[in-house]
Amino acid sequence: MSGPSEVQRLLAIINQAATDALSEYATHGEDVPSIYEAKSHPLDLSDAAFNLKKIIRTLEGACHQLCATLAPPLHTVLNNGQDYSWACLRVAASKGITEILDDHPDGVHIDELSLKVGITKGKLATIMRTLVARHCYQEVSKDVYANNRLSLTLRSQTPGTAFLDLQTQEGQQAAFYLQKSLDDPVYGPATDLQHTAFTYSVKDTGFSGTLYEWIREHKDRLQVMIKGMVGMNQLMGTLSVLEVFPWGKYKTICDVGSGSGSFTWSLVQKFPAIEVTMFDLPETISVAEKAAADQKNGVDRVKFSSGNFFEGSPPDGLDVYYLRNIIHNWPDNSALSILQSVQKAMRKDSRVLVHDYILPSYHDPEGDNPAHALDKAPPPMLPDFGYGNMRLHNQNLTMLFMYNSRERTVAELTGLSQAAGLKLSRVWDLGETAVFELVRSDSSE
C-alpha cells in the first residue's frame, strides 16, 4: 500500500470508528459527553460499555498511526520518550487539586491554588498547563483553572488514584531501572521474582526478596496495592465479564487469588443464586473479611478460604474457578503450578476462567482458529491495534518490571493449559482484556 492510500484508509477507519462511537452512546440512551463538562458520564465506568472500548481501541490506534505516518519520525519517538505527564498527574492527585476545584465550578486563580496546595505559583502553573494540554483540567480564563471530565478521576482516595499512585511510584521507579537491570550479569538473565527491575531498584536499601515480600514490609503500600487493584480493574473494564459470560448457568464459583473481592462482590450482587468462595493468602483474606462489613447484600453467599496455591489447592468440586490478574503475575513454571493446583480441585465438568490481557499474536496458527481468535484491526493498522492496545503493552511491561513475567498469547496459554491437564474451550474478547475458558483435558466438551 502506498503512503497516500494508507492515509486515506486510516482516515476512513477513523471516520467510521467515530461514527460508531456516537451510535454506541445513542444505543445506551446517553448523550455524547463534552470534554469541558465537569461531570462524570454514566458510561464512564459502565460494565456494559465493552463495545465502546472496542471502538475506541480502533479509533486510538488509527489516530496514532496516522500521526506517526505523517509526522517526522523523531517527533513521534521523542513524544514517547519525553512524556512526563505522569509526574504532573502524581502531583495533582497527591495535592487534592481536583477536590479543591470541586468547590469552585468557575475556577480558581493560580495564585490562590498555589497557596492552597503549598506549591510555588510558577511551578504549579507549569504542572497545570501540562495537564490542560492533555485535556485534564481546563484553563477557563487566564491563569484560572477548573475541573473537567477527565480531572474528576483524580479525586484522592479513589481506587483509580490508588492505581495511579502504584504506577507512578513503584512502576516508574522499576521502569527507570529496567535498562540497568538488563545489563546486570545476575538480574539480566534472571526469570525469578527475586531479580526483577523493581527489586534491582531497591537492592541498595539492603532489601533482597520479591515484590510480595517488599509489600509485606511496607504495610502502607499493601493498602494502596489492594485498593489499586480495584482501580486497575475499573480501567481494564474487567467487570464486563459479568455481561458476557453465562454466569447464570453456574452456582458455585471460586475467586482464586481474590484480593479484597472486587469481582466477588459484583458477582454475588448481580446473580442472586450464585455462591462464591474467595481464596487468597491469609493476610489478604483477613483484609477481605473486614471489607465484607461494607457490603449491603450477598454477604451470606460468600465464604472465605485462606491458602496458598503453591502449597495446596483451592476448595474442590466447584463449578467455576475464576483467576483474574493471577496467571500473568508469574513466570511459566509458577503459572503452570497454579493451573495444576486448580486442575486438581476441579470436577470433570468444572471450568477455569483465566482473565488477563491476552497478547495478540497474528503469526501463530492458534491465533487463526476462529473459535479462539481475538479481534484483529483492519489494514493498514497494526493487526493488534497498536496504540489502541497501549494498556495491554503497559501491563505487559509492568509484569516484566515487577515479576519477570508477561502477558501471554493464546498459543502460550494453550501450551501451559495442556501441560496442566486442561484444554481450551473458548476465548472471550472483552475489548481490552480477554477471558480464556478452559475445561479438563478428559472432559467430553
Answer yes or no whether residue 406 interacts with ligand SAM by CB under 6 A: no
Q: How many CB atoms lie within 10 A of CB 105?
A: 10
Instruction: Work out how close the CB of 319 gets to ligand SAM at its nearest, in angstroms, rounded to a whole number.
Output: 18
When binding is defined by CB under 6 A, the residue of 181, 196, 233, 409 that contacts ligand SAM is: 233
Answer positive or negative: Cα dihedral of 361, 363, 366, 369: positive
Is residue 411 within 8 A of residue 366, CB to CB? The reply is yes
Q: How far apart are CA 419 and CA 413, in angstroms?
A: 10
Sheet with 108-109: strands ordered across: 108-109, 144-146, 138-141
Instruction: Please identify which residue in 259, 298, 388, 431 interacts with ligand SAM, judged by CB under 6 A.
Output: 259
Instruction: Verify binding: residue 309, ligand SAM, rule CB under 6 A.
Output: yes
140: exposed, middle or buried (Cβ count in 10 Å: 0-12, 13-18, 19+) = middle
**What residues pair up with 422 in beta bridges, in sequence order?**
440
Mark the segment that binds ligand SAM (CB under 6 A) among 38-46, 89-97, 111-119, 255-263: 255-263
Which of 197/326 has CB closer to ligand SAM? Answer: 326
Between 37 and 332, whose beta carbon lies closer to ligand SAM? 332
Q: Which residues pair with 408 in a beta bridge?
A: 358
Which secondary structure element, helix H or strand E, spans residue 403, and what is its range? helix 390-403
Binding mask 322-361 for ligand SAM (x = CB under 6 A): --xxx--x--------------------------------
Query: Which of residues 222, 281, 287, 390 is near ligand SAM by CB under 6 A?
Result: 281
Active site residue 363: no
Smallest distance, Å, CB 441 to ligand SAM? 24
Is residue 310 a contact residue for ligand SAM (CB under 6 A)? Answer: yes
Give the nearest distance from C-beta 429 to ligand SAM in angstroms.
18
Strands 351-356 and 434-440: antiparallel
Nearest approach in angstroms of CB 13 to ligand SAM is 32
First to last CA, the chain: 43
The single residue among 138, 284, 409, 414 that binds ligand SAM, judged by CB under 6 A, is: 284
Considering only residues 153-172, where is the footprint of ligand SAM by CB under 6 A? none
**Residue 432 Cβ vs ligand SAM, minimum distance, rounded to whole Å:** 14
Which one of the listed residues 64, 195, 328, 355 is annotated catalytic? 328
Of 138 and 313, CB closest to ligand SAM: 313
Q: Determine the length of the chain.
A: 445
Q: Is the peptide bond before 380 cis (omega within 30 degrees of 0)?
A: yes
**Which among 95-103, 295-303, 318-326, 415-423 is the span making contact with ligand SAM, rule CB under 6 A?**
318-326
Cα separations in angstroms, 155 against 146, 151, 160: 13, 8, 9
Span near ligand SAM by CB under 6 A; candidates 32-40, 42-50, 144-152, 305-313 = 305-313
Q: How far is the CB of 56 from ligand SAM (least distance, A)?
A: 22
CA distance 423 to 135: 45
DSSP three-state, residue 333: helix
For the record, the C-alpha cell of 439 comes out as 475445561
Tell the smallest beta-carbon distance from residue 130 to ligand SAM (Å).
30
Choose which of 308, 317, 344, 379 interacts with ligand SAM (CB under 6 A).
308
Sign of the C-alpha dihedral computed for residues 240, 164, 407 and 58 taken in this order: positive
Name which of 327 and 374 has its Cβ closer to ligand SAM: 327
Q: Is 221 in contact with 215 (CB distance < 8 Å)? A: yes
Cα separation, 107 vs 91, in Å, equals 19
Residue the block writes with cell 537492592:
203
C-alpha grid cell, residue 169 = 511510584
**How many residues bind ligand SAM, per CB under 6 A?**
16
Choices 51-59, 157-165, 303-311, 383-391; region in contact with ligand SAM by CB under 6 A: 303-311
367, three cell numbers: 491465533
Please report whether residue 312 would count as binding ligand SAM according to CB under 6 A: no
Taking CB under 6 A as the criterion, the residue among 24, 60, 280, 412 binding ligand SAM is 280
Which residue in 257, 298, 367, 388 binds ligand SAM (CB under 6 A)?
A: 257
Catalytic residue numbers read: 328
Footprint on this chain of ligand SAM (rule: CB under 6 A)? 229, 233, 257-259, 262, 280-281, 284, 308-310, 324-326, 329
